[in-house]
Every structure is written in structure tokens, then in C-alpha cells.
């Protein structure tokens, strides 16, 4: 059985959907699921998709984190080896060149929340629940939680969420600035697709460089950032899409971007 699936969705098939598919375990990721997610992320990265949705086959749980049943009884070295695999899984998602959108309903906990944080944007149902409860199990997040959460909600809130290990409702997460869209669970997929479609219709080289620039420039010294920003800007200049964008504007028609 495959624990991760992917296919093309959207009106023009320009959006890749990566679906976590271990519903009986609330999509808790084990060794097999991590390997599959790494492999599929690589396929999507090299596809012609212009945006990526990361979804769940279980409406009650986006992902409950690592499978502790599989980890029970592991030696310290086995735990470290498996965690190294999990690290590669998180990085495979984070390193997707296309903008990625986590589509969250139900529980997104521990490593499951970290999968969400490694995506570029978050669309959540008002029935979603977020949390990093690792401290209640004698450990801390190791897949981006302590590194990425503060970028979303600020240092002071991130420290509280990390150190308390408490669960956070979708409404509180939205107020904290975590999510891009908060909607009713019945409209979740529709809202996520609308956002992905809006992104996918734009010039993919420009979009990908916007994502890369934000990641690279955030927190950088401003003088250095000014110079580095132009590196990303200049990558868009000598492209057919840039010429097409100008032509379409002058001719008063929608542009037809081809990613070159």
C-alpha cells in the first residue's frame, strides 16, 4: 500500500497534489511513508507543476506526527538514523521550487505540524488543530518547529507554543498570523485550489524566484539583502515570460506564460 500519492489537479492541470494517505494511523509517518514522501517530492519538483497542494486523505487528521509505535523499542542509533530520514523528508518539502500550500483539517501535531511549517503557505479549516507537544514526551521539534514557527507568529508566541506543548485552535492560529486562509471545512479544498490556481496562472520563473528570494533575504542584513534581491530579480529578465508579460499588457490580453 502506498502511504503517499500525487496527481495533477486544477482547471489546467498545473497544480500537483501530494496526499498523505495513511488514514488509519492519522497519517502518522513511519519509515516507508517518509521514503515515499521524499521520492514523490522529487518527482513533483522536476514536473511542470506550478503550485503544490499538500493534503490529507483523513479529514480528521492532517498528520499526527511520527509513528511512535514504530519507534517504540528502537535503539538510540536506530532512532538517530530514522530521524535523519525524517529530516530529508522535511527538507524535500521545503526545497520544492514551486510554491507549496498545506491544506489542513483536523490534527496537525508534532512532525505533522512541521510538515505544514515546511510549506510556503497554509490554508486551514476552522476545525484544524495545531500543536508541537514534543516537550511533553521528553524531546523537542527537530524538523523545523523551533526554526520556522517564529517566522510565522513571532518569537514570543513561538516560545510559548514550543515550551508549553499545548494544542492551538485554528482560530487562535489565524489570529497569531500562522495561516493564509481560514475557512469552513466544507470549503477547504475549494479555497485552497483557488489560491493555487491564482498562483499557477502567473509566470512560474518569477513566482519561484519570489519564493526563493523571501527565504534567502528574510533576516539578512539590509545592505546585503538589497544586493541579493537584485540577483533574483535579474533571473527573471532574460526570459520569454517577461517579454510575454509586456506584450500581453500592451495588447490588452491575458498572458500565456510557458516557464521559459
What residues act catalytically? 66, 111, 114, 134
* DSSP strands (E only) in 92-223: 100-104, 107-109, 121-125, 129-131, 167-169, 181-183
Q: Is 95 exposed, middle or buried (0-12, 13-18, 19+ CB in 10 A)?
A: middle
Helices (H) and strands (E) in the chain, counts: 11, 10
Residue 205 has a CB neighbour count (10 Å cut-off) of 19
Taking the C-alpha atoms of residue 236 and residue 131, their distance in angstroms, rounded to an integer, is 38
Q: Is 122 exposed, middle or buried (0-12, 13-18, 19+ CB in 10 A)?
A: buried
Given CA atoms 49, 51, 55, 57 in this order, what sign does their dihedral have?
negative
Amino acid at each position: 500500500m502506498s502511504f503517499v500519492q500525487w496527481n495533477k489537479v486544477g482547471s489546467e492541470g498545473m497544480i500537483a497534489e501530494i496526499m498523505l494517505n495513511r488514514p488509519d494511523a492519522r497519517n502518522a509517518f513511519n519509515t516507508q511513508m517518509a521514503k515515499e514522501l521524499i521520492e514523490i517530492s522529487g518527482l513533483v519538483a522536476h514536473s511542470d507543476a506550478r503550485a503544490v497542494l499538500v493534503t490529507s486523505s483523513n479529514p480528521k487528521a492532517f498528520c499526527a506526527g511520527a509513528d511512535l509505535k514504530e519507534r517504540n523499542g528502537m535503539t538510540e542509533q536506530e532512532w538517530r538514523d530514522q530521524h535523519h530520514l525524517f529530516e530529508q523528508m522535511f527538507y524535500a518539502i521545503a526545497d520544492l521550487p514551486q510554491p507549496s500550500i498545506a491544506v489542513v483539517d483536523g490534527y496537525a501535531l508534532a512532525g505533522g505540524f512541521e510538515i505544514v511549517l515546511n510549506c510556503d503557505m497554509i490554508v486551514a479549516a476552522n476545525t484544524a488543530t495545531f500543536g508541537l507537544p514534543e516537550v511533553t514526551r521528553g524531546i523537542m521539534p527537530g524538523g523545523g518547529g523551533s526554526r520556522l514557527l517564529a517566522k510565522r507568529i513571532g518569537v514570543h508566541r513561538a516560545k510559548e507554543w514550543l515550551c508549553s506543548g499545548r494544542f492551538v485552535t485554528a482560530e487562535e492560529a489565524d489570529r497569531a498570523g500562522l495561516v493564509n486562509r481560514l475557512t469552513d471545512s466544507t470549503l477547504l479544498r475549494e479555497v485552497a485550489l483557488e489560491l493555487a490556481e491564482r498562483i499557477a496562472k502567473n509566470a512560474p520563473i518569477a513566482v519561484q524566484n519570489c519564493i526563493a528570494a523571501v527565504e534567502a533575504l528574510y533576516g539578512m542584513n539590509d545592505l546585503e539583502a538589497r544586493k541579493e534581491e537584485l540577483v533574483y530579480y535579474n533571473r527573471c529578465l532574460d526570459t520569454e515570460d517577461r517579454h510575454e508579460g509586456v506584450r500581453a499588457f500592451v495588447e490588452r490580453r491575458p498572458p500565456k506564460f510557458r516557464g521559459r
